[in-house]
Amino acid sequence: MAKDDLLPPAVSHRFVELLGYAEHGIASRVLAKKGTSNVTLFAFDAGQGLTEHTSPFDALVVVLEGALTLTIGGEPVEAPAGSLTRMPANVPHAVDAVSRTRMLLVMLRDPK
């Protein structure tokens, strides 16, 4: 990733200007990366999602607009705009966009 792709410091940004929607798809942009952690902005078109997978680190999902159904450990979790959900490390999870949705994914990796 080029350093120019990250957010410049000391500037206020609107999420809608940082990343648009991909028609019938998913768009993403890494906003910040420090050590072993990073923050990524996603834009899901309605009906799009990420299939079930497992990650070796905790993650926080912040729904900025729209709504998601997260499946964490086989259990559905409704995540509307304005919500924050923690997905624990090593637990299978999936993401499904109920409507057009922007979310921040904060990955919290242990620097071991």
Q: Domain locations in the chain?
A: 35-112
pLDDT tens string 72-110 = 999 999 999 999 999 999 999 999 999 999 999 999 887
Q: What is the CATH number of domain 35-112?
A: 2.60.120.10
pLDDT tens string 24-51 = 999 999 999 888 889 999 999 999 999 9
Q: Residue 7's pLDDT is what?
A: 82
**CA 33 to mean position of chain CA atoms:** 14
Phi, psi of 54 (to 5 degrees): -125, 140
Q: Which residue has the tokens 């952690």?
A: 37
Euclidean distance between CA atoms 25 and 37, whole angstroms? 25
Sign of CA dihedral 66, 58, 36, 34: positive
pTM for the whole structure: 0.88
Any idea what DSSP says for residue 31? E
Euclidean distance between CA atoms 59 and 9, whole angstroms? 23
- Confidence band of 5 (pLDDT split at 50, 70, 90): low
